[in-house]
Each structure stands twice: as C-alpha cells, then as structure tokens.
Amino acid sequence: MASRAPNPLGAIVSTDPARRPSRNTRLAGRYVTLVGLSAAHADPLYPHISGPDNAHLWDYMFDGPYDDIAAFRSTLKARETSRDPVFYAILSNKKLAEAGHDGKEDDAVVGIASYLRIDPGNRSIEVGHLMYSPQLQRTPAATEAMYLMLRHAFEDLGYRRYEWKCNSLNEPSRRAALRLGFTYEGLFRKHFIAKGRSRDTTWYSIVDDEWPGVKQALEAWLDPANFDGENKQLKKLEECKR
C-alpha cells in the first residue's frame, strides 16, 4: 500500500505574542502627534465635526452624529478606559506650535483614530474609528497619522497583520486603503446592521512581509522634498511605490 503524502502545512512561526497598544503612547511626526484620547479633546474637536454641514462625516460610523456637546464629551470620557479599541487624538503640530508654551495641547486636536480587534496571540490588529475633521482630510498630516500607527504596530509592538475594514459603500475609505498600500481581501456580505441599515464590509490588510515596501513608499511621499513651496505634492503616493 502506497504511503500517503503529507498534508501541506503553514510555515512555522514564533508564538511570542505582540504587545498591546497603550493610550499612554505618544506618536510624533512632522505634521501630527497622536496621544491618548480624553474627554478634554471633546470641546475643541466638536465644532469641526458637528452641525448639518458635517453630518456626512458620520454616515459610515457606528455612532453619531452628536446633537450636543455633552453627549460627545460623555462618549470620549468612556473611551478613556477602553482597552479594545484603544483611542488616540490626532493633534496638529502646526496648531501646537502656534499655541506655544502657554497654549493647551488639547486645542490642537483635528481627528480621532484607534487600534481595535487587538489579538496579541495571533499578532493581528486593526485600525479604525477614524474621524477626520475637514482640517485633516486630504492633507499630508492625514497620511502621516496612518504611517505613524502602522510603524508603531509593526516595529514597536510586533504585529504581523494590520487590518483595514470599511463599509463597502464608503468609496473614499476604499480608495484610501489602496492608496496607503493595503491589499484587498474580500467582501463580507450583510456583515452588520449599523444604525438600522444593512452593511457589507470590505476587508484589506498589510502583513509584515509587505511593511518594508509600504514604509519606503510612505516615507518617500512624506519627505519634505516631495512638496513644493505651497505644500503641493510633486509625486503621488502611487508613484512612490514604483
């Protein structure tokens, strides 16, 4: 009787767990600094993400929009103690510099981001709950915030998989994932009921083998030499990947 061929198996990898992210971590870049989110960030951020003109910012979020500042403060207060997700405020370095030593750091907040679905054992983590104020959207600062979180997850915390998920109808989020270097993985149909509406979820990821190339492209695009005197890009991020 012929011997049975062995089944194919995955590569052997270290089972050492990754580190959990901490809200006490401070991630500083050229344009932005990320710090643990607190209720103190509510008041300066609220005017930029509230009201009828900004209601669309909440269309694909699981919460909001908020009709009053008290409810928003309460939400951010609860997020101070969350272990998954771990929330961060995105601070504008330009606003920090303008505030000087006498200014309040909290007043520089321009957005929110988080790590979630944190799985140290399998070394997998997701980025999400992104709330970018109009001041942050489509700026080098927005890209840098994602770069800082990616670098921290792979290089400091030891994760091997970094996920991005979004409502399949959220075309700007899908474009952003591909632009940043994420790979499309598939569509989870009828994944959630969010705010009474059916949601299909699109999945993307970057894995540790891909990170060096993604990092090189992001750093090349963020390099000050890639921007002219009016802070306009000379090369698109897609061109930096070549």
Are 108 and 190 in contact by the 8 Å Cβ rule? The answer is: no
Torsion of CA 56, 59, 62, 66, to 10 degrees: 30
Residue-level pLDDT at 74:
97
Residue-level pLDDT at 103:
64
DSSP string, 6-25: PPP-PPP---PPPPPP-TT-
Nearest-angstrom CA–CA distance, 145 and 116: 16
Nearest to 143 by CA among 109, 113, 167, 183: 113
Which element (helix H / strand E) includes 190?
strand 183-194
Nearest-angstrom CA–CA distance, 53 and 223: 33
Is it the case that residue 229 has pLDDT exceeding 90? no
User: How is the chain split into domains, by residue range?
Assistant: 27-229
Is it the case that residue 96 has pLDDT exceeding 80? yes
pTM value is 0.94
Is it the case that residue 50 has pLDDT exceeding 80? yes
Nearest-angstrom CA–CA distance, 182 and 210: 9
Task: Map tokens 């890009």 to a residue.
Answer: 233
Q: Report the CATH fold assignment for 27-229.
A: Aminopeptidase (3.40.630)
Nearest-angstrom CA–CA distance, 108 and 229: 24
Is it the case that residue 225 has pLDDT exceeding 70? yes
Residue-level pLDDT at 79:
97
Q: Which two tokens stand for residue 12?
A: 């052997």
The 10s digit of each residue's pLDDT in 169-199 is 999 999 999 999 999 999 999 999 999 999 9
Alpha helices by DSSP H, listed for the chain, are 42-49, 69-79, 93-99, 140-151, 171-180, 211-222, 237-240
Is it the case that residue 100 has pLDDT exceeding 80? no
